[in-house]
Structure 1
Amino acid sequence: MRQHLDAHESRPYFGVMHPLDNPVWHALTSRHAHLAVGAPPVLRYPPEVSPFAALETPQALANLGEIIPDGGNNLIWADAVLDAPVGLERLVAFPVLQLVAEDFRPAPVTVETRQLTAEDVPAILALTELTRPGPFGTRTIEKGYFAGTFDGSRLIAMAGERMCLPGFTEITAICTHPDYQGRGLARQMMAVVGNRIVAEGRTPFLHSLPDNTAAIRVYDSAGFKPRKLWQVNLFGRAGASTNSDGYFKGR
């Protein structure tokens, strides 16, 4: 895997850095500009949408404290574990693998699905708290299209869009209720969202914990190949907690 990553990291993209080398920044300055809080060189999402923040350049880390409210925290994607800037502390750091499907190969969809809306947020939060596919808040579905499949009134599997930037859309929150695992629902939910992305002329990408080998096998079967290994850095002010989202508990 290391050889494959070295071949794809920090590739030139029409003479500049590839947008997937700073995806949060490119999302917040394009398709998610309506959700951006702050001003260059540091931007973030509202906390109920996402804990993600972005730096225009690595040097802008010194400005991160300007946009973090008291008791708040923000997550920065970087090439390494970062030292906390003045006034902040690093709460969590862990690796995340970026994968890209330049040749998306979706599974057949045999289950009934529908778009998830604000009325589904309680069910979404219950499922994501149980399965912990990634940070998820009360307004995360504002980032893009989310789809789910139900057993009666019970949400049993879902997937959606997270970072949306020119040419690329991230698939996120691919999760299945433990009582319904082993039925291929994750592959089908990924296909529903990925098919929409490809139909719009964009390339799907996603992120996974690098030791989640079962998930990576699923992603590989759909054409996702490793591109870049990130270090995720969660910074907060003194006294901030990682309990703001179930995904960070115990990390």
Structure 2
Amino acid sequence: MTHPLDRPVWNALTGRQADLALREGDAVRLRPDVGVFVAGKDAGSTDDLQAICARYPGAGSLEAEGSPLAGWMPPGVAPTLNAVLAQMVATTVTSGPSVDWTALGEADAKDIYDLAMLTNPGPFRPRTFDFGGYIGVREQGRLIAMAGTRLRVEGFSEVSAVCTHPDHRGRGLASALMRVVIGHILDEGDACFLHAFADRAATISLYRSLGFEIRQRIVYTTFA
């Protein structure tokens, strides 16, 4: 496999986002305060993968279905999650309602983390917002919706951390924020990608309405 998105974690953490990575021989792991992702160079790097997972537990992988490291886990460790995701790509963005938004950063760290813990948009850690590109909607000072970016590989940037407070759902805030993030990525010259659980038809339909199409299936595995 040679496409950058076939191995998004390895290609991001040995490329554009190497500054967020810890390394153990032929294995890399995202800083634990930023996220969970780990990857090895190839099927021969399992010893290094095992070592880095032991040093920094709570890891997870994203690998193309059917590839040598898809579903790999350290020996004797049970998965905390083993799921198939739909990897989707967009090179354009559809039009839709706009929303008043603000850029989010260091000063918003607690609000970002609190909203993520409430809504569970995916693996999230106190410094996940270090991936950058975070924007949000506030009402009466309260952060009620947000979206951001995550992995960046050659030619592609991932839309992630899309969530809305339960009291404010149904207003189109997530879609509006996603359109802004997608637009920023496209303006930078990248295409966009994201991951959705493959069995969540409604979510995939929403992403299609924004301009995304399924590219391939990805195995997402997390372990203690």
TM-score using structure 2 length: 0.91
* Counterparts of 1:98 and 1:69, CA distance in 2: 28
Q: Against the structure 1 CA distance between its residues 195 and 63, is the aligned structure 2 distance closer, same or farther, given a 3 Å change threshold?
A: same
Q: Which runs of 5+ in 2 are unaligned?
A: none
Q: Against the structure 1 CA distance between its residues 195 and 201, is the aligned structure 2 distance closer, same or farther, given a 3 Å change threshold?
A: same
Deviation by residue 1:198-248 (Cα, 9 ceiling, x = unmatched):
000000110111222222121101110011111111133xxxxxxxxxxxx
Tell me the secondary structure at the aligned position of residue 73 of structure 1: coil
* Counterparts of 1:30 and 1:70, CA distance in 2: 22
1:85 equivalent in alignment to 2:60: no
2:219 alignment partner in structure 1 = 231
Structure-to-structure mapping, 1:102-181, within 5 angstroms: 102-109=91-98, 111-181=99-169
* Counterparts of 1:118 and 1:174, CA distance in 2: 18
The residue type paired with residue 90 of structure 2 is A
> Taking every aligned residue pair, what percent have the same amino acid on both sides?
37
After TM superposition, which residue ranges in structure 1, 4 or more long, deviate above 4 angstroms?
A: none
The residue type paired with residue 101 of structure 1 is A
Deviation by residue 1:7-65 (Cα, 9 ceiling, x = unmatched):
xxx5xxxxxx1000001111111211111101442101111101001122133233212
Q: How far is the alpha carbon of 1:127 from its aligned partner?
A: 1.3
The residue type paired with residue 33 of structure 1 is A
1:33 alignment partner in structure 2 = 18
- The alignment covers a number of residue pairs equal to 220
Q: How far is the alpha carbon of 1:113 from its aligned partner?
A: 0.9
Structure-to-structure mapping, 1:13-24, within 5 angstroms: 17-24=2-9
Tell me the secondary structure at the aligned position of residue 163 of structure 2: strand
Tell me the secondary structure at the aligned position of residue 68 of structure 1: helix
2:45 alignment partner in structure 1 = 60
Q: How far is the alpha carbon of 1:71 from its aligned partner?
A: 7.1
* Counterparts of 1:108 and 1:91, CA distance in 2: 38
RMSD of aligned residue pairs (Cα, Å)? 1.8
2:33 alignment partner in structure 1 = 48
Q: Against the structure 1 CA distance between its residues 85 and 68, is the aligned structure 2 distance closer, same or farther, given a 3 Å change threshold?
A: closer
